[in-house]
Amino acid sequence: MKVKRDFNERFQGMKSYKKGDEYTFDNKERVDYLVENGYLEGPKKETKKKSGE
């Protein structure tokens, strides 16, 4: 997942992540927290096209 906002990851020895970096921690709860608080990009949502338009 891509980093949207700079932060230091406390669960990885205060590793510094900068905007645009790739986040590589496999803890789903932590990833969810970071997405909810604007630090990481969320999973891409698929948009459904309306038929006939």
Q: Which domain holds residue 14?
A: 1-43
17 belongs to a structural domain = yes
**Helix, strand, coil fractions of the chain, as percent rounded to 5:** 25, 20, 60
The answer to whether residue 53 sits within a structural domain is no
**Residue 27 within any structural domain of the chain:** yes
pTM for the full predicted model: 0.75
pLDDT in tens, 4-42: 999 999 989 999 999 999 998 889 999 999 999 999 998
Position 52 in a domain: no
- The answer, yes or no, to whether residue 53 has pLDDT greater than 60, is no
Q: How many domains does the chain have?
A: 1
pLDDT at 43: 76
**From CA 31, how far away is CA 25, in angstroms rounded?**
8
Residue 49 domain-assigned (yes or no): no
